[in-house]
Chain A
């Protein structure tokens, strides 16, 4: 009995197009960025680089978190796009390479790397025990090491399972994914503390890391839903996917939208009510200039709009209606990371320059080009998709 998966060793023509766009974006974006660096168009161009790096790193570890979730729950709901999430999570290796320039231009980016600022602040002197070049580099290496191991080992086992049909791999990947999820939350939390929170001289928030965990998962799932929304009309996807699958993915998107909003609002309400100077600075700063309308826009378009749309069961069950919502969530996620990162540079004058745009487009271009390359070498549907499993329970 030849399964449709065996026969249709799926090659999606779209991947090539996506890669071509990615390469063009990378050349244009990075060209623009380096022109900005050499022409001194902005005071601290490497801040733009960190911003671009963060946007796509959030997506990379988001893919890893969704892939861990699918492996851990053995959720049939995710088997149709698990290869895409695995490919996305493998890009953490790319992000590790792209992290190196940040180490080289630390002074341009972080206040704690600036001796004058540290000398002026007791808090920063206190934090200097952890926030210094050596420890920052070592910790970052640990985060990337954890992510790379999880991404590559899971993906390898997942493929070995396909190749050999040995069910022991199923047990192995589940057993790795559960503690892996614990490790992921911890490493993302500390990574975000180091890379983003430490941009502020005094501010801190214990929930900040979780906001990024939820946001990353949301962005990755939006990518997955976009992918399914684009391929579902082709065989063998059409016969593998039913409205229930889309309904489940829509529900998960809805849950993550609400969870993200819950975390973000918790942080806001507690900070706003406490109104302590070293904390409220975070929001006071985001009330200035263009950030107030951007923040308001995020409340309306990152929470209310998808929330109300995703309440509809009909929308969730109709791929052609779910697709634009998924694309929208993906794009608004970029805006949210922008709002989290850029105001923390406390720029005077222009808040969002073309160098920022160039960095985010350039790094995004590389990301999609590499992502496409990984997808190209991958069997897009795992064979175990068709094995009997807990369909009834998770479908």
Chain B
């Protein structure tokens, strides 16, 4: 990264750095990434995290069974706070689930090639995060075994879902999101599965990968349709990502509860989701690239970009906080004003200030290039942001519910710990971590075919044919 010498560099600073480091050709890319799945022994950390995931899964099973046996009363929810950890965690997990598809889809559409090495990991993260998220509202219904009532089908009671309720919109949004993300993820995997099929020595791996690869043979005609379908999926997923968290925000905004009924909610929730999602991607990528030695493909340039996106979305979130306060005052509405002052000086004020620190102030260090280029710095900021985004949902939900219109109906919210809210929440990390641990072991975490394409482009970048197009 030589600094300026009077002429324009290819790119400033780190953007000088290549997206693929080290000496690689198509074969070594395949070996380096494919062998993690096929024949390399897992690093020690893999067993450690597998163990942690196992413990969390155990705590999940215990608290899940207890919940089903006793009912939602084992959670801290009460009247007036009918929504507590369940909805906080739902929104938190689904927010995390947004970076995956966003990284893949938007960056593909913008032809941001740096996405290539992190998109698979991020998409997988999305799938497991959305699974964790979906559990909460499902169980919060109290009778999850009749959850199919949420689906519009003609039934004996002649009753339909109530389409004017955002909670029903949520059902459609979350299931669509999960389905489309899974399709996008699988379509992206097919060429790599074919690579593994052809590379695998073990009969079982060959058959398994072969079935999943659907007989992909890399035909040019197939690639062409594949690219069209993949782009179409990206084009569909991008607004889908925005719509899902917007609809989640409408769960709140469509009501008239003070602090919830505000028009900024959709974009502000979406920005928060992307913010939290990128923080979680960084939390996963920073250790994984080290343990698996894939730093050649996930370079500092990727870290820098992700940090910048975190900074930008963090600013939007902060903007949301400012707007909430300003317009609470501007409205002149006594309930809105009371809610704002309750946030600033009420029972939960500590959490509000913690939130402002975590999401508003701490990410501002990302303006500094030094922090963006320090793995430790990024890791710490990401951790703070993840906590901050959880606090945001906490501040939105119990603070508004516990003090709404009538003082006689005011209350408070305390989560239960053992066998309750906290244990269940920790349990969902078992699903998430367990899923990720299994994924890095059985599927290629970096898309090999796309890395090869990138390699090809970097090799032939100066090719005049690439720029020879003229206006039609």
Contact = CB atoms under 8 A, between A and B. Distances in A.
Touching chains A and B, CB distance < 8 Å: yes
Interface of A: 74, 122-124, 126-127, 130, 165, 167-168, 170-171, 174, 182, 185-186, 189, 193, 202, 204-210, 232, 238-239, 241-244, 246, 251, 258, 262-263, 266-267, 269-271, 273-274, 276, 278, 317-319, 384, 387-393, 395
Closest 8 CB pairs of A and B: A206-B264, A123-B332, A126-B332, A207-B263, A273-B254, A387-B8, A266-B266, A267-B263
B10 interface: yes
A390 B267 contact: no
Interface stretch (B278-286, B287-295, B323-331): B323-331
Given A126-B332, A274-B261, A392-B461, A207 B12 contact: no
Residue of B10, B263, B264, B323 most packed against chain A (CB within 10 A):
B263
Contacts of B267: 207, 210, 262-263, 266
Given A193-B330, A206-B327, A274-B261, A269 B6 contact: no
Q: Chain A interface mostly helix, strand, loop or mixed?
A: helix
B471 A242 contact: yes
A165 B331 CA distance: 51
B333 A244 contact: no
B42 interface: no
B112 interface: yes
A185 B253 CA distance: 23
B360 to A, nearest CB: 13
B319 A319 contact: no
A128 B261 CA distance: 24
Contacts of A165: 6
Size range of the interface on B? Answer: 35 or more
A176 to B, nearest CB: 13
Given A186-B319, A274-B254, A262 B242 contact: yes
B266 A262 contact: yes
A188 B254 CA distance: 26
B264 A207 contact: yes
Interface string B111-136: 11100000000000000000000000
22 contacts: A122-B332, A123-B331, A123-B332, A123-B333, A127-B330, A130-B330, A167-B9, A170-B8, A193-B330, A242-B470, A243-B470, A266-B246, A266-B266, A267-B263, A270-B250, A271-B263, A274-B256, A276-B261, A384-B8, A391-B467, A392-B113, A393-B112
Contacts of A276: 256, 261
B197 to A, nearest CB: 32
B472 A206 contact: no
B323 A232 contact: no
B303 to A, nearest CB: 17
Contact of B253 (A202, A270, A319): A270
Contacts of A242: 467, 469-471
A206 B323 contact: yes
B59 interface: no
Given A269-B250, A387-B8, 9 more contacts: A167-B4, A174-B12, A204-B327, A204-B330, A238-B471, A243-B469, A243-B472, A266-B263, A395-B111
B261 A127 contact: no
B315 A205 contact: no
Nearest to B265: A270
Contacts of B10: 388-390
Interface string B156-191: 000000001000000000000000000000000000
Nearest to B337: A126
A366 B41 CA distance: 73
Given A206-B263, A207-B264, A241-B471, A270 B254 contact: yes
Interface of B: 4, 6-12, 15, 109, 111-113, 164, 239, 242, 246, 250, 253-256, 261-267, 315, 319, 322-324, 327, 330-333, 457, 461, 467, 469-472
Contacts of A170: 8, 12
A393 B458 CA distance: 11
B330 A205 contact: no
Nearest to A167: B4
Contacts of A387: 8
A38 B58 CA distance: 82
Nearest to B164: A273
A273 B253 CA distance: 9
Contacts of B7: 167
A243 B467 CA distance: 11
B330 A393 contact: no
Residue of B113, B324, B457, B467 most packed against chain A (CB within 10 A):
B467
A186 B11 CA distance: 30
Contacts of A258: 239
A210 B254 contact: no
A317 B9 CA distance: 30
B469 A393 contact: no
A168 B12 CA distance: 11
Contacts of A384: 8
A278 B263 contact: no
Given A170-B8, A206-B324, A388-B8, A270 B261 contact: yes
Residue of B262, B323, B324 most packed against chain A (CB within 10 A):
B323
Contacts of A123: 331-333
Nearest to B242: A262
B471 A389 contact: no
A207 B254 CA distance: 14
Nearest to A239: B470
A174 B327 CA distance: 32
B228 to A, nearest CB: 11
